[in-house]
Amino acid sequence: MACCQYALIPPPSDLMRREMKDALAPFLASINWLPISVFGMSNYDTNPFAEDDVNPFADGGQSNRGGGAFYNTNSGRASATSKLSPLSPEPYDRAATVDIPIGSSIDLRAKEKELQAREAELKRREQELKRKEDALARAGIVIEEKNWPPIFPVIHHDIAKEIPIHLQSIQYVAFTTWLGLIVCLLWNMVAVTVAWVKGEGLSIWFLAIIYFISGVPASYVTWYRPLYRATRTDSALKFSWFFLCYAVHILFCVLAAIAPPIFFKGKSLTGILPAFEVLDDNTMVGQVYMYFRGSGKAAEMRREAAKGAMRAAL
């Protein structure tokens, strides 16, 4: 019965629909997101939560919607022209080349190889030199580097490092003797030069020069260097050569100290006898000399001087 009753109710007329729509319009305007389709309002969205493809910046940031900053109640769904336009692609040139500075890296590699080659060459030379030094050391040959005198090195001389401690005192005495010989020969040259200026003749000055030029290197080669090597290596043969040459050196020292009148009246050497002859020419010193000579003490002084020179040489 009820179904029959409901079936007999006539459908609402158009007037009734317009009245209901006008009555509900204020309420629907306040809640504009509700779907109203039962009354034939098809201009509203069916899903208010669906995302719209809307670009809020397409209209310059101005909003025509009343419900929010970017919501337009009058326009409905945004048009397709409101989407952001894609950026234009950057131009790409396939033929363009980029200059990469590879020359500097090549130069660095070449320099590195060159330095490595030099280092290898230096190491090879160092090993070769060390091998030669070891071979010379095994053969008993010592490389002598010139280091004396320090200003102008002429000879090799290093007593503190090369001579044993128990023989260093002997070597120092011999070195002092050799330096004393150099000083004596130099003084002899100066004194004979003064005598030559006083009129004694040019020949004695030449002899004094020869004594100095030949005596210094000859003394070093004949007896000082053999003694130095003998004390360094403890060689009996070198010691015997030193004693032989040093005996000749002593004889020369005695001859120079007395200076007998054998060659040019002995005035080429500043010995004792030439000194007495020089004293005869001086007035004051000559009187003292004549006093000793008249009393017989001059001959005694000569003998004592000769004995003293002989003891000093021995």
Task: For residue 97, report the phi and psi dihedrals to the nearest 5 degrees.
Answer: -115, 150
Provide the residue-wise pLDDT of the chain in tens; the chain has 314 residues: 444 444 455 566 677 777 777 777 766 666 555 444 444 444 444 555 555 555 555 554 444 444 444 444 444 444 444 456 666 666 656 666 665 555 567 778 888 889 999 999 999 999 998 888 788 777 767 677 888 988 989 998 999 988 999 999 999 999 999 999 999 999 999 999 988 888 888 888 999 999 999 999 999 999 999 999 999 888 888 899 999 999 999 999 999 998 888 877 778 888 888 887 777 665 555 566 556 555 556 567 667 776 766 676 65
Q: Identify the pLDDT of residue 217.
A: 94
Distance, CA of 161 to CA of 145 (rounded, Å): 13
Return all residues near 83 (Cβ < 8 A) that are at least 6 apart. Answer: 53, 55, 58
CA atoms within 13 A on the CB side of 31: 6
Q: Identify the pLDDT of residue 23.
A: 74
How distant, in Å, are the alpha carbons of 274, 286, 299 from that of 294?
Answer: 19, 12, 10
Upstream peptide bond of 153 is cis (omega within 30 degrees of 0): no
Closest CA to 17 of 32, 34, 46, 38: 38
Distance, CA of 277 to CA of 33 (rounded, Å): 153
CA atoms within 13 A on the CB side of 242: 17
Say if CB 242 and CB 223 are below 8 A apart: yes
SS3 content of the chain, % helix, strand, coil (to 5): 65, 0, 35
Distance, CA of 246 to CA of 183 (rounded, Å): 18
The DSSP code for 249 is H
Closest CA to 238 of 312, 147, 171: 171
Distance, CA of 83 to CA of 55 (rounded, Å): 5
